[in-house]
Amino acid sequence: MSAYLDFDLRTQARARLERHTAECAECRGVLGDLRQMLVLLQGAPAAKPVADVPAIVGAVLRRLHEPTGR
């Protein structure tokens, strides 16, 4: 199903899945859930809190000459 939603299935396999989901309510439900979930994920905002960009940039520039090694 994942490959189907990513347009990553060959024509025959796509048709087979579409025939099956037309007849099987359970799989049709799962496919619908997955499709909806992907739409929501693609529009999901960044996790809060968001980055403090100036603080990260400042810290990185200050640390550029630190000796390497962990």
Interacting residues toward another protein by CB under 8 A: 1-3, 6, 8, 30, 32-34, 36-38, 40-42, 44-53, 55-57, 59-61, 63-64, 66, 68
Q: Yes or no: say if 4 and 17 are a contact pair by the CB < 8 Å rule.
A: yes
Q: Yes or no: say if 33 and 21 are a contact pair by the CB < 8 Å rule.
A: no
Q: How far is the CB of 31 from another protein (least distance, A)?
A: 10
Q: How far is the CB of 18 from another protein (least distance, A)?
A: 18
Q: How far is the CB of 28 from another protein (least distance, A)?
A: 12
Classify residue 1 as exposed, middle or buried by CB count within 10 Å of its CB (0-12, 13-18, 19+).
middle
